[in-house]
Structure formats: C-alpha cells, structure tokens
Structure 1
Amino acid sequence: MLRYSLLTTLTLLAATSTTAVAASDTPLTQQLNDLKNFQVIAHRGASGHAPESTLAAYELAHEWGVDYLELDAQLSADGEVVIFHDGTLERTSDGEGHIHDYTLAELKALDTGSWFHEANPEYADTDFSGTQILTLNELFDHFGQTTRYYIETKSPDLNPGLEEALVERLEAYDMINEGRVLVQSFDQQSLLKLQALNPNLPLIQLLWYSPSEQNSEQLVEWQNTTPGPSEINDADFQAIAEYAAGIGTNAIYQGNEVIDAAFIRQAQANGLSVHVYTINEPDEMQRLMALGANGLFTDYPDRLLELVE
C-alpha cells in the first residue's frame, strides 16, 4: 500500500512538472528564447531588391524565409498607423512635406515605388510604379502570423499617440501573446511608454555610436542612452535589460569599428541580445557573425541567408 501511494505521488508530481513546463512554453517565451539564436532581419523588407517598406519588398523577404520583417511605424493625420521610414515624403514618394500632415487617403494617392527605378536600375520593375503606402493593418492582414515583425516607433515626437495606436493594433491582431513582434526605438521614453501599455511586449533599445563633437577620439551614444562603448559597464546594460530584450546598434562609423566582441559578450552576459544594423556586404556579415552578434539588419537578406544556411 505504501509503495502504491509513493508511486501515485511521484506520478502526480511528474504530471504537475510536465504541466508547468508546458505552460511556460508559450509562443512568447519561445520567441524570447529564439532571440538567443541568430536572426535574419529584412530591413524595410528586401529593400535592396524592391522599393523599401512596400508589399513587394516584404513579399520577397518573406518568400526567402527571413526571421523578421523590419518596418517603421508612423501616424497619418487621421490616426492610421502607416509604414514609412522618413519623416518627410520627398525621398521615396512623389509627395512632399511631413507624412503626419496628410490623411491616409491623401497618402494613398502617392506613388511610393517609381523612385526606386532610378536609384536601383538593376532591379527596376515597371510593376513598382504607382505602389501605395502600406498601413500596418494591411501588412498584418497580408502575412498574418506566418512571420515575425520588427517595428520601430519612428520619430515619436512627430507622431504623438503612436505608442497607443501601435499597441492597440498589436493586441487586436494578437501579435504579442503569439510571439510575433519586437518593437524598437532610439527613444527610450517611447519604449518605456510601450512597456507601461503592455508589459509583455518585447522591446529593443536602438543605439548609435559616433565620435563626440568635443573629442573626436571619444565615442558617444547620440541620445545619451549609454556611455560610449569603451566606458560602458554591466550596470549600463542592466538598466536597459530592465525594460528591453535586446539592443540594436551600429558596428561601424565612417569606416571605423565602434563595437567589438567584448561589447557583444558583455551585453549578452547582462541578458541582452545584440542586433547590428544595417549590414549589406557579405564580408562584414561574416565578421559580425564571428563576433557573436545575435542578428543583422540587412537590405539584402538573400546574401545573409546564404551565409546562415
């Protein structure tokens, strides 16, 4: 009888343990675990091959099997979340002025594809002409949960209310609990606002290191989010890790290296994945992979995928 009771107890404990493991193995925890592995991040889609931030660029990257589709979120004048990098329209459309001064209908009337022909003649395609600006809803409707999304809150000071609108859409499409989204920003306050809106949303703190105006030999971070790479310490990384799952950083400034393997290892030791932007040449991709980066942003995901596979 005692042996039977002991076996029953062990069986119940094993079942409870299995249930606990299964409960912790959610899509969101799986996504966070995956960040420890190498991630191929399609910068504004396959933007070296098709107009950036358009469905054509995202479809190509998705077809190739990237880990994340990267995009910039802004607000139209009537509060729609649109996918567009620049604060002004001139570079990648036939419009002019600030994007947030136009309604979605007005933005939809613009051609965001034709500019690509002159800039990238080797990839020119008449089908790109007349391409409309994308909304976040349209991107989610098109790809659903067949991929992951890496979204930047672009120029939050020019897009008041962006964080609330973004979280509302992420929740409506169940992108957070299903482990389908990272949100990045250079603006620490924007990230903290996002954390307050939904503490489960995984965040990435973007960093940009360049020489100080006062001392060209000293590197500084342009938003003063951290000290320069040579002065950064565990406490600095831990402060970011309190709200973020990783950092996105440049590796080079005007041909000079700004981070090294020790920087990457230190960030990782303090719980942060390290993603480097924007890397387009295979030699540099290989160098950063050898340094231990957890992922690279690239306009040419096909080149990076060849090295990863």
Structure 2
Amino acid sequence: MSVSHRQRTLGLATMTALGSIALPGPVAADAGPIQQHLDDLQSFQVIAHRGASGHAPEATWPAFEQAVEMEADYLEMDVQMTADGELVVFHDETIDRTTDGEGDLKDYTLEELKALDAGSWFNDEFPDYADDEYAGNEILTLDEVIERFGTDERYYLEIKSPELYSDLEESLVEALEDHGLVESGSVIIQSFSDESLKTVHELNADIPLVQLVWYYPEEEGDDELVEWTGVTPGPEETTDEDFQAIREYAVGVGTNLTYGEEELQVIDADFVEQAQANDLLVHVYTINEEEGMQRLLDWGVDGIFTNFPDRLNALVE
C-alpha cells in the first residue's frame, strides 16, 4: 500500500484561513494534544462506522465496545437532538429502522427514547451475528459515550440533519469543550452541510472538520455525476479551487467510493491525489469488503469508514 503521502505537510498558505488550527507536519517532541491529533491524522485511520456495526447493533454499547477491542482509531457516530434538547447518538431522522418505535426522533424526549429497544432489530436483520444480549439495548446520549470512554478514545462525530435543530452546533461544541475533548485532541466533526461546519469553525477553530460529499448520477444511466449538496461539482469536474475552498475550514473530505446496488465507482485514484495535493485528507465511506479496502489502500487514502474494523485492521497490519 502507498504510504508516502502520510508524511506530507500542509501548505503554509492555508495557515491564515485555518485560524488557530495548527498545521499537520512532522511530530514534534513537545507537540500539544491538538497538534498531535493533526500529526496523527497523517497516518492511515481505521474509522469504526457507528462502532463495529457489522458485528453488533449500530451506535450501541456492544458496537462501540467491540470497536475499541478491535483497536479502531475512531468511534464514528451521528449526533442529533431530542425534543427536550439532549444530544443523542443516532443515525436516522426517524426511529423506525433500528428501534421498536416509529416517527421522527426529534419529536421524542430522551426519556421516551430510552424506553425503546434499539438492539433486537439487529438479531432479526443479521442472524449470523445475532446475540441475545443485543436485545433491549438503549439509544445512547453523547454524554454517556464520552463519559464511558473519555479521552482514551477518539470520536468522529457527524452533525446529522442540522437543518432540523436550530442550536445543534452550539450544543455540540459546548458539550465537547465541557468534556475536554477539544483540548485533548480527541474529536473530529464531519457534516454534509458546509454551513454547519463553518458554524462549528467559528465556535471553536481547534476542532478538525471534514466535509462530507456524496457523488451520484443525477439521472439513472447518466454518466455525469453530481454532488448531493452542491459543495463541489462532480468529481471529474472538481478543480483545485473547489478543494481549496473546502480547505479554508476543513482538514479533509469524506467521500463515497461507489453508488447504488450496482456499485458504480464515483471516485478514482486521481481524485484522491488531487484532494491530497490541495492539503486535504481523504476518508472514504463505508467500505466493508476487503477488495474495496485494498483498492483504497493502494490509492493511498488517509482513512476508511467501515462496519468491520477488524477486517480493515487485518489488511493494514
């Protein structure tokens, strides 16, 4: 696998735009935790997507605990807000798919969400990985996850559906600061919303940010690809200027590799190289098969999101 890009340093021209975020470079003996985090990002990162969610119900204690046991570099999770203003770790806007409830998550209080079974669905959906202990697992708050793992682990948080929550960014940054995760270099924030990321950057410029992108054909069978939110053009039309615009507030991009059941490939090695040449890390989601993992490793990506961190770690080692 290609590793030469891991030792690259970021251009000095971006220093002003990044505000107080120190630039990744060679690890210094006296580097503070925030700089050390950025230095560490220059190495390949195994990102446990909603925990080890191929083995256990996503975003539950078993999924996160197994991800830790599998030595993932990051615990990835989505953050949303309850009707009574609590931050919870949950992916979908609705609770139908992964609990025994139904409706919009934002309409439920934390107490109501805690009464739901967020584990049994997994045993029905994935019988090969079923475990009786998964039944009855609760939806977790962000505070609960951080209090359990502290700064021993690093967190890769997605601001989910920020348009639904008027003060999600403020509440999230405040929580991270209160728990000491920013000053300890323990957290990354990602989002598809560039406006949400820019809001976070204004609130605390020491938090590394990753701009999520999703490439797909606008019409079925169309060869021309577009990006879901319009933050960039299609991957083949994305210019250095487009990447540099992202680099003003983010340290990386998170992108899909394929689209649809037929797994249409939407990025290639040239896309990865161009993003990295513009001082952006490239993290790719969500890759669960070894063939796809190895392809990306050969391209020299900086990290991979996966439901199976054990599979990825076996290849990296």
TM-score under structure 2 length normalisation: 0.89
1:45 and 2:51 aligned: yes
The Cα RMSD (Å) is: 1.4
Of 292, 297, 300, the match for 1:292: 300
* 1:267-307 deviation digits (Å, cap 9, x = unpaired): 11111000000000001100011011111000011100100
Aligned pairs for 1:215-294 within 5 A: 216-254=222-260, 255-294=263-302
Q: Distance in 2 between matches of 1:260 and 1:214?
A: 20
Which residue does the alignment assign to 1:125? 131
Structure with larger Rg: 1
**Equivalent residue number for residue 85 of structure 2:** 79
Aligned counterparts of 1:159 and 1:46: Cα–Cα separation in 2: 28
Q: CA deviation at 1:160?
A: 2.1
Alignment of structure 1 residues 77-116 onto 2, 5 Å = 77-116=83-122
C-alpha separation in 1, matches of 2:133 and 2:126 = 14
C-alpha separation between the residues in 1 aligned to 2:73 and 2:159? 20
User: Which structure 1 residue ranges, 4+ long, deviate > 3 Å from structure 2?
Assistant: 21-24
Distance 2:28 2:215 in 1: 41
Once the 2 structures are TM-superposed, how far is the Cα of residue 161 of structure 1 from its aligned partner?
Answer: 1.1
Paired amino acid for 1:290: D
Q: Give the TM-score taking structure 1 as reference length.
A: 0.91
1:25 corresponds, among 24, 27, 31, to 31
Q: Deviations over 1:71-116 (max 9, x none)?
A: 0000001111000000000000011111011111111001100101
Structure 1 counterpart of 2:253, one-letter code: I
Structure 2 partner of 1:304: 312
Matching residue of 1:7: none
Gaps of 5+ in 2: 1-26
1:214 positional shift: 9.1
How many residues were matched structurally? 289
SS of 1:144's equivalent?
helix
Cα deviation, residue 53, structure 1: 0.4
Q: CA deviation at 1:159?
A: 2.1
Larger deviation: 72-81 or 205-214?
205-214
**Distance (whole Å) between structure 2 residues aligned to residue 215 and residue 47 of structure 1:** 32
Q: Deviations over 1:196-228 (max 9, x none)?
A: 111111100000000123981211101000011
**Structure 1 counterpart of 2:287, which letter?**
I
Gaps of 5+ in 1: 1-20
Which structure has the highest helix share of the two? 1
Instruction: Map residues 136-215 of structure 1 onto 2, 5 A cutoff.
Output: 136-213=142-219
Q: Which residue of 2 aligns with 1:11?
A: none
| CA–CA separation in structure 2 for the residues paired with 1:172 and 1:203 | 19
State the one-letter code of the partner of 2:227: E
1:63 aligns with 2:69: yes
Deviation of 1:35 (Å)? 1.5
Distance 1:96 1:212 in 2: 31
Once the two structures are TM-superposed, the CA of residue 129 in structure 1 deviates from its matched residue by 1.1
